[in-house]
Chain A
Amino acid sequence: EDQVTQSPEALRLQEGESSSLNCSYTVSGLRGLFWYRQDPGKGPEFLFTLYSAGEEKEKERLKATLTKKESFLHITAPKPEDSATYLCAVQASRSGGYNKLIFGAGTRLAVHP
């Protein structure tokens, strides 16, 4: 069964304290791995898509990497405005190429000044 597991469930950081969020996945053929950010009461906001092992993408203080079994979202020198829930999702090859995503439960990040 296709599955996505994110860890930790919650993470508290001081402003400027870099860290990484983990997303491990089991899927029968990975078509793509997605990272989204979700603020309370809002919908998920797209961050990155990764397609193959070894691929990396960056956006401001965020950097996403992908291996054959997991993805990491590295946060460098975070600021309080980075506080949110970060969601990881995978798209299986048998999904037919459309956005039928399997989501993890998310990591709740809190960055304190």
Chain B
Amino acid sequence: NAGVMQNPRHLVRRRGQEARLRCSPMKGHSHVYWYRQLPEEGLKFMVYLQKENIIDESGMPKERFSAEFPKEGPSILRIQQVVRGDSAAYFCASSLRTGRNTEAFFGQGTRLTVV
């Protein structure tokens, strides 16, 4: 049972570089969510995507952050010109559909460190 796959597991970037985080949802899941977990804080919703569409990006910073979920391939969270404050664990989750009894399953996360 392949779960949600995220890569890389760890990513180190220098300030000003770009970070690309990848997420392959569970088989058959077409709903993808990205969350960020800052040190000593809870998980915060960033964005919700369905295939080729961004449905809700209300939790994503307006600048430097973007997300996509193309028809083929994994979902990508891109952070341009990273700053130290972007250092966090980024988690992707997927669900089969929306509505009742459709819980989200999380991946192992990508831990981004900006030096």
- Distance of A39 Cα from B108 Cα, bound (Å): 10
Work out how many contacts link A and B, with CB atoms closer than 8 A: 68
Whether A101 and B43, one on each chain, are in contact in the complex, defined by CB atoms closer than 8 angstroms, is: yes
Whether B93 and A97, one on each chain, are in contact in the complex, defined by CB atoms closer than 8 angstroms, is: no
Whether B45 and A98, one on each chain, are in contact in the complex, defined by CB atoms closer than 8 angstroms, is: no
Partner of B93, one of A41, A96, A99: A99
Partner of A46, one of B44, B56, B91, B103: B103
CB neighbours (8 Å) of A89 from chain B are: 43
Q: In this complex, what residue of B is CB-closest to A45?
A: B106
Partner of B42, one of A43, A49, A96, A103: A103
Contacts A34-B103, A46-B105 given; indicate if A100 touches B42 (C-beta within 8 A).
Answer: no
Asked if B1 is at the interface (CB within 8 A of a chain A CB), the reply is no
CB neighbours (8 Å) of A46 from chain B are: 103-106
Whether B106 and A44, one on each chain, are in contact in the complex, defined by CB atoms closer than 8 angstroms, is: yes
Contacts A34-B103, A44-B91, A46-B103 given; indicate if A98 touches B42 (C-beta within 8 A).
Answer: no
Binding site for A on B (CB under 8 A): 4, 6, 31, 33, 35, 40-45, 48, 55-56, 59, 91, 93, 95, 98-109
Q: A98-B95, A99-B31 are in contact. List 8 more A-B contacts (CB 8 A).
A: A4-B42, A42-B108, A43-B4, A43-B6, A49-B103, A100-B48, A103-B42, A103-B43
